[in-house]
Structure 1
Amino acid sequence: MWHPGDAIGFISCSNGLTNNDRSLEIVSSLSRKLKDDFGLETVMSDVLFLDKETQQTEAPASRAGALLSLYSNASVKAIFDLSGGDLANEILPYLDFGIIKRNPKPYFGYSDNSVIVNAIQAKTGIQNILYNPKVLVSREEAFQTQALRDLSSRNDADWTETFETSGNNPSEQSSAVFAGGNLRCFLKLAGTPYWPELENKVLVLESAGGRYEAMCSGLAQLEQLGAFEKINGMLIGHFTQIELDGKRAAFMSVCRNYASRYGFPLLETAFIGHDDRSKPMRIG
């Protein structure tokens, strides 16, 4: 995936990072981390932070142009999106997927950037990574350092703990292909040219702020889109607000109902979600 001396591009395709000391320290710490532990340089996009004068996220065309510049930069071997929020889908009409396809490299993004992770994979076939790069400098730094090493050496492919709970054998584990991410944000792609093909894929879902009723509504929308007729399985990670509200069991009961009706396996994992121990997952 990369070698010492290569570069990682930093960008915000969703809401720009705030211009405060905490954000600046996270970016600086992550850059040092990549240099010290992986021998990687950093290329900073000029849309990483909010505009200093207006304190607004940069325009969609500007963010799309900055992303395309990172794809066109031969020294950049992967792209780390450090943003989240609501605005990722704004940039999709401005992307030249031909440029991206001619310069294949993995895009790492999470939360609202589930939109970009899945849209680029759907339009180009490039495998992207559902991952929040900022967890590399979280309280789980050692855990995440190993997780990223496993990813780069392709030792991550089996997701053993997840699949063993459902009785799947190792050959089935290695053949799983994933789509999805944050449920609310993934559904922004519904009805657009950027919606991924779900045939024979495992649909992975997580959420941060969505309450029980909103997330059940999201599952109903997936059913109405025909997703459950196509997928090979569904993998449920953390649903943070639902768990805070004590409604995880009720939500999983709804998920099991869909799984039973459509005949796909339902799996759970503690390693996907808005959590510092959320591992990188290959999409596509």
Structure 2
Amino acid sequence: MECVALISLSNGLPNKQVEIISNLEKLLTNMNIKVIKSDIIYKDISNSNYSGRDRASELMKLYKDPKIQGIFDVSGGDLANEILQYIDFDTIKDFDKPFFGYSDLSVFINSIYSQVQKKSYLYQIKNIVLDQTNNSFQNFYDYINNISEAFLNFNYKWLQGSNMSGILIGGNLRCTLKLAGTKFMPDFKNKIVLIESLSGDENKIRTMLTHYKYLGVFELCSGVLLGSFTELENILTDSKVENLILSIIDNPNIPVIKTKEIGHSYNSKAVIIGKYYKFIK
């Protein structure tokens, strides 16, 4: 990638993140990547979030700009679903440029797949600045320069089953659930479903997973990939978290794997929503 764009499609960033974005721009520039910053990254002059229409319009400009070869969302929060009604998915289909985003952008990334079957990266590009170990920067650098696939390679363990395969969908639990009942929710049949969460104590995680269960997710899917559950894993031991989730999935025929390397930590790896994955024990 020689030229990329930065945008916030969920909550606008507060001004205190100006330094982070500046450092991100410097890192990318030092990698010989030109950075175009959208007018919609921070909150507006009244300290409010731009409208869904405005954010979607700005995004479509970036897709249509022939100079831009990749789009990185630097936001997260609550508002990404506001943009969906204003998105021209045919335009996204026509322009071959990868989109990177995480957390609330699970809404948009899964909609890209459900509407035009295109792949996107579940990843927060700010990690290459915020990860003090420098691993995230090195992994990203090696990936875009075709040196290594470490950016996408994550360790995991089996909780049940021994093999699973299918196209990967899902992402953040709370945010993906916003698509329930809409045309933007992807079909779970024969898919591997990624589930991770930043916030959520035991009760919140239980109720959201139960919502998935009532949607038929754990009967339709070919397997479940569990990422990190940041708040819950700070409250309960790993084994209690795993047993809790398995008790709600309540289907021994569904293969389940668990990793701590996908989620909201600064050293998280990336996954590709819409890509076919195969896992064998």
The alignment's TM-score, normalised by the length of structure 2, stands at 0.89
Cα deviation digits, residues 107-164 of structure 1 (max 9, x gap): 1111111111111121111100000111010134621123224543372597463268
Greater mean deviation of Cα atoms: 85-94 or 241-250 = 241-250
Runs of 4 or more consecutive aligned structure 1 residues displaced over 6 Å after TM superposition? 163-167
Quote the Cα distance in structure 1 between the aligned partners of 2:233 and 2:25.
33
User: Normalized per residue, which structure has more helix?
Assistant: 1
| Alignment-derived partner of residue 133 in structure 1 | 125
Do 1:105 and 1:126's aligned partners in 2 also have CA atoms closer than 8 Å?
Answer: no
* 1:187 equivalenced with 2:177 (yes/no): yes
Do 2:154 and 2:259's aligned partners in 1 also have CA atoms closer than 8 Å?
Answer: no
Quote the Cα distance in structure 1 between the aligned partners of 2:154 and 2:228.
18
* 1:256 equivalenced with 2:278 (yes/no): no
Which of 69, 75, 78 in structure 1 is aligned with 2:70? 78
Which of 240, 243, 246 in structure 1 is aligned with 2:236? 246
Cα deviation digits, residues 58-101 of structure 1 (max 9, x gap): 11110000011111111111111001111110110011111111
Change (3 A) 1:246 1:160: closer
* 1:44 equivalenced with 2:47 (yes/no): no
Which of 13, 22, 27 in structure 2 is aligned with 1:28? 22
RMSD: 2.2
Which of 116, 119, 123 in structure 1 is aligned with 2:115? 123
Change (3 A) 1:268 1:44: same
Quote the Cα distance in structure 1 between the aligned partners of 2:217 and 2:132.
34
Do 1:216 and 1:251's aligned partners in 2 also have CA atoms closer than 8 Å?
Answer: no
Change (3 A) 1:25 1:158: closer
Which of 66, 73, 80 in structure 2 is aligned with 1:88? 80
**1:7 corresponds to which letter in structure 2?**
C
Do 1:229 and 1:262's aligned partners in 2 also have CA atoms closer than 8 Å?
Answer: no
**How far has the Cα of 1:176 moved from its partner?**
4.8
Structure 1, gaps ≥5 residues long: none
| Alignment-derived partner of residue 68 in structure 1 | 60
**How far has the Cα of 1:106 moved from its partner?**
1.5
Secondary structure of the 1:10 match is strand
**Structure with more relative contact order (C-alpha pairs < 8 Å, separation 6 or more):** 2
- How many residues are paired up? 272
Structure 2, gaps ≥5 residues long: 275-281
The alignment's TM-score, normalised by the length of structure 1, stands at 0.88
Quote the Cα distance in structure 1 between the aligned partners of 2:143 and 2:199.
28
Quote the Cα distance in structure 2 between the aligned partners of 1:249 and 1:163.
12
| Alignment-derived partner of residue 96 in structure 2 | 104
User: Normalized per residue, which structure has more strand?
Assistant: 2
Greater mean deviation of Cα atoms: 142-151 or 271-280 = 142-151
* 1:155 equivalenced with 2:149 (yes/no): yes
Which of 7, 10, 32 in structure 2 is aligned with 1:11? 7
**1:282 corresponds to which letter in structure 2?**
I
**1:102 corresponds to which letter in structure 2?**
D
| Alignment-derived partner of residue 225 in structure 2 | 235
**1:8 corresponds to which letter in structure 2?**
V
**How far has the Cα of 1:51 moved from its partner?**
0.5
Quote the Cα distance in structure 2 between the aligned partners of 1:41 and 1:202.
35
Quote the Cα distance in structure 2 between the aligned partners of 1:141 and 1:128.
26
Change (3 A) 1:219 1:15: same
Change (3 A) 1:96 1:12: same
Secondary structure of the 1:264 match is coil
| Alignment-derived partner of residue 216 in structure 2 | 226
**How far has the Cα of 1:248 moved from its partner?**
4.4
